[in-house]
A and B are shown apart, each in its own frame.
Chain A
């Protein structure tokens, strides 16, 4: 069986779950003081890759652009999807990159991976940047079809196509699920709501087998870790890092906090008028919560 060749690009992100985020006086993130972890969206991308590995058989490579502190993120991603190869793109000149400077490095990295990729996965967006641009830019640079907001997918190995469901939120209309078919290779930015499901005993057994393998591999992840600097990647120095980043950060502002005002009103449970008032208020509140 010819294996699918899959790449996952991941990002080391501040660990918001610990509640110990440190900021610089100018409002930017103090990365040296903040504990980092594999980005939650990156983790979902790795899970999506694992699905292909279990269902179709795949060789998975993971790449990230970061300092050596990203080793832990690569290790976690490996444990999630039982990857065979880990790539760390690490060079001083990569620093200060915006999304397009990052996309260039990741594209170069993906090209260094063994074999031609069939699918590249990325998360929906980063939790610390939230632009969601890096994925589409890598796809554009690689010349792959870009599929965003993918909530589920399957592959036809004979036809070499992928069928994907995309979750589209259009203003003024309810959410839509769009089903599309695209020829491989594709770049998939996975939707946060993605969750794989293995519906047969044999797939479950395979998943268990790879999960155990992943655990073993992750324990010795350094055996499979390769580090590349800009030269080894053959990166064009004018396209990466600060030099290759046209974005100008004009100002950084904290998200303004809305003022919380609460009015308390004491209601009598035995008064039908009060009950009616409460129910009406609850209905209104519920209606307001429905995302349109």
Chain B
């Protein structure tokens, strides 16, 4: 049987960080990643933060990858962070840039496929030096301990092998956690469901529309009527030449009031402000004359498709900041455009271009972080350990996972040096490192300084819309001394006691709607986007189908009935009163996992995201 020092399960940003840190420390580690290649299963909102907490230290992405700032394919540095309250065509906006910049070096918008491929590249040579590396297309089936206490890993694809320690970085739907019984599945109370689309827009149009230069970007958050009465909201982040647009809702509120995820995202896209953000110039093909001979019809279809493709490519290039032959591209573009119009009767109109639809569950760290994130010699990091910061507009996950992974790698390296992988020496030590993490503190209690910055940002908000319940609280909180006392009091009492107050229909739906209605500006849109149907969205994704389903329905429960509505890919239908599963278009988000036997698809199978 082959032997390795450390197995890292899952090649997302946390798993990759663990590999990098272990390799930096001269230890042998292998990543087992089920996707066809690194990054193909990873989804994020996403903003990657680099933080400088006042108390304690964290390892930031640029600390781990020295050339991150010079070389990595991040999208834009977010320099504007704005919260919009919406009600129909009215929008009330608040600038929260100060709270976004709170204790942070930067926050970059990122696309996980590209970024994780880059992270992987940084670890390749160094991990190889110590006999480690990344093994894609392998899905871990079991982790067991034999009679001598040796840890054996079995997979669906390769021969079993032995390891000394395991770092579980297999995400929010961690199979490792479940198979060894380290924690129970997260409940609907502890999770958010996120659904995202990628919209393509040329770089220079983004710059102009969002008032930024090519290195800067904007983040827009949305609450109010776009939530369709759910706790949570929408977001729009600018990437280099795409936008990440999504909705994130508390799973419990979705179960109470089930609305199809694609309807929720469509509602956001149809909001006049968002419609204006995503619009672009689109070529419209003339319908092909059905009376023409078949071969001629085919020739036209190919001809138009080819021209549109090169029009798109040329226009994208022309409107990017990275070329230096503007005139040449301009004349090429007008030549292609001319051909499209004269040869094939193409016209131009306004619409939007959607490239990728994706979904993911998000663990709410304040509710579900593992208090002891280990089991025997397995250490859990990032989403797998239920760790993420989710406080109003403050949303952090990637940075937490990376920092966790470095802590786990340090603990494992220390255990290797002493050849002691006991719970006490490895697990407890890691748990202690995690307790020392400033991120853990952020998941544990209210940060009064952050609260102050947030309140300062909202101090001009007209109080008449805040409502009876929150008006007096806000007034109280605006006083420094009283706020200090109140925060101390809450932190002693238990942060969890006030969750229902900060995360309520009032805060995410009612107050924003009132604000927008009373004080919002009218934003009108010049067109209405032709939003893709769910079928068209699924059709755009790449899949490697597995004839064996990775999900098995366990019982016909109320929960499963709700999945018919809440599955973002509509994998469930009802037939003769029974819930039926068709796993083929599955996005692997895990929304249905609570009451199903849920596994990640076998190696290489399932969805392959292009953006992530």
- A209-B128, A212-B124 in contact; A201/B134 too (CB < 8 A)? no
Within A54-100, which residues are at the interface with B (CB < 8 Å)?
none
Residues of the B chain whose Cβ atoms lie less than 8 Å from the Cβ of A198: 158
Within A166-219, which residues are at the interface with B (CB < 8 Å)?
198-202, 204-205, 208-209, 212
Contact A201 B161 (CB under 8 A): yes
Task: Tell me which of A199, A200, A201, A205 has the highest count of chain B C-beta atoms within 10 A of its own C-beta.
Answer: A201
Chain A: CB-nearest residue to B163: A201
- A204-B138, A205-B30, A209-B128 in contact; A199/B133 too (CB < 8 A)? no
A87 to B4, CA, bound (A): 40
Residues of the A chain whose Cβ atoms lie less than 8 Å from the Cβ of B30: 201, 205
A198 to B157, CA, bound (A): 9
Chain B: CB-nearest residue to A205: B133
> A29-72 vs B: 1/0 string, CB under 8 Å?
00000000000000000000000000000000000000000000
A75 to B474, CA, bound (A): 67
Q: Tell me if B71 counts as interface (CB < 8 A to partner A).
A: no
Contact B134 A202 (CB under 8 A): no
A205 to B159, CA, bound (A): 13
Question: Distance in Å from the Cβ of A67 to the closest Cβ of chain B?
Answer: 26
Residues of the B chain whose Cβ atoms lie less than 8 Å from the Cβ of A204: 135, 138, 158
Question: Distance in Å from the Cβ of A52 to the closest Cβ of chain B?
Answer: 19
Question: Distance in Å from the Cβ of B234 to the closest Cβ of chain A?
Answer: 39
> B154-182 vs A: 1/0 string, CB under 8 Å?
00011101000000000000000000000
- A208-B133, A209-B133, A212-B124 in contact; A202/B138 too (CB < 8 A)? no
Residues of the B chain whose Cβ atoms lie less than 8 Å from the Cβ of A209: 128, 133
Contact B2 A201 (CB under 8 A): yes
Name the one of A20, A199, A208, A212 contacting B158, with C-beta atoms under 8 angstroms. A199
Question: Distance in Å from the Cβ of B374 to the closest Cβ of chain A?
Answer: 24
Chain B: CB-nearest residue to A200: B159
Residues of the B chain whose Cβ atoms lie less than 8 Å from the Cβ of A201: 2, 4, 30, 135, 158-159, 161
Contact A205 B124 (CB under 8 A): no
Residues of the A chain whose Cβ atoms lie less than 8 Å from the Cβ of B158: 198-201, 204
Question: Distance in Å from the Cβ of A211 to the closest Cβ of chain B?
Answer: 10
- A205-B30, A209-B128, A209-B133 in contact; A200/B138 too (CB < 8 A)? no
Residues of the A chain whose Cβ atoms lie less than 8 Å from the Cβ of B135: 201, 204-205, 208
- A204-B138, A208-B134, A209-B133 in contact; A199/B159 too (CB < 8 A)? yes
Question: Distance in Å from the Cβ of A188 to the closest Cβ of chain B?
Answer: 25
Residues of the B chain whose Cβ atoms lie less than 8 Å from the Cβ of A208: 133-136
Residues of the A chain whose Cβ atoms lie less than 8 Å from the Cβ of B138: 204
Query: How many residues on B have C-beta within 8 angstroms of the other chain's C-beta atoms?
Result: 16
Question: Distance in Å from the Cβ of B457 to the closest Cβ of chain A?
Answer: 47
A212 to B123, CA, bound (A): 13
Within B18-49, which residues are at the interface with A (CB < 8 Å)?
30
Question: Distance in Å from the Cβ of B523 to the closest Cβ of chain A?
Answer: 46
Question: Distance in Å from the Cβ of A266 to the closest Cβ of chain B?
Answer: 25
A7 to B577, CA, bound (A): 62
Task: Tell me which of A20, A198, A208, A209 has the highest count of chain B C-beta atoms within 10 A of its own C-beta.
Answer: A208
Within B132-150, which residues are at the interface with A (CB < 8 Å)?
132-136, 138
Residues of the A chain whose Cβ atoms lie less than 8 Å from the Cβ of B134: 208
A146 to B132, CA, bound (A): 39
Contact A200 B2 (CB under 8 A): yes
A212 to B124, CA, bound (A): 10
Chain B: CB-nearest residue to A19: B302
Chain B: CB-nearest residue to A207: B135
Residues of the A chain whose Cβ atoms lie less than 8 Å from the Cβ of B157: 199
> B538-572 vs A: 1/0 string, CB under 8 Å?
00000000000000000000000000000000000
Residues of the A chain whose Cβ atoms lie less than 8 Å from the Cβ of B128: 205, 209
Question: Distance in Å from the Cβ of B11 to the closest Cβ of chain A?
Answer: 12
Chain B: CB-nearest residue to A20: B302
A71 to B158, CA, bound (A): 36
A279 to B419, CA, bound (A): 66
Question: Distance in Å from the Cβ of B158 to the closest Cβ of chain A?
Answer: 6
A141 to B496, CA, bound (A): 81
A47 to B473, CA, bound (A): 69
A202 to B4, CA, bound (A): 10
Residues of the A chain whose Cβ atoms lie less than 8 Å from the Cβ of B2: 200-202
Question: Distance in Å from the Cβ of A16 to the closest Cβ of chain B?
Answer: 15
A204 to B135, CA, bound (A): 6
Residues of the B chain whose Cβ atoms lie less than 8 Å from the Cβ of A212: 124
A245 to B2, CA, bound (A): 54
A200 to B32, CA, bound (A): 12
Residues of the A chain whose Cβ atoms lie less than 8 Å from the Cβ of B302: 20
A115 to B124, CA, bound (A): 32
Question: Distance in Å from the Cβ of A85 to the closest Cβ of chain B?
Answer: 24
Question: Distance in Å from the Cβ of B52 to the closest Cβ of chain A?
Answer: 35
Task: Tell me which of A198, A199, A202, A212 has the highest count of chain B C-beta atoms within 10 A of its own C-beta.
Answer: A202
A208 to B127, CA, bound (A): 12
A94 to B395, CA, bound (A): 67
A205 to B137, CA, bound (A): 12
A201 to B29, CA, bound (A): 12
Residues of the A chain whose Cβ atoms lie less than 8 Å from the Cβ of B124: 212
In the assembled complex, 22 residue pairs joining A and B whose CB atoms fall closer than 8 Å, in A order, are: A20-B302, A198-B158, A199-B158, A199-B159, A200-B2, A200-B161, A201-B2, A201-B4, A201-B135, A201-B158, A201-B161, A205-B128, A205-B132, A205-B133, A205-B135, A208-B133, A208-B134, A208-B135, A208-B136, A209-B128, A209-B133, A212-B124
Beyond A202-B2, A204-B138, 10 additional contacts (C-beta under 8 Å) are: A199-B158, A200-B2, A200-B158, A204-B135, A204-B158, A205-B128, A208-B133, A208-B134, A208-B135, A209-B133
Q: Which residues of B contact A (CB under 8 A)?
A: 2, 4, 30, 124, 128, 132-136, 138, 157-159, 161, 302
Shortest Cβ-Cβ A-B pairs, 6 listed: A204-B135, A205-B133, A200-B159, A201-B161, A201-B2, A199-B159
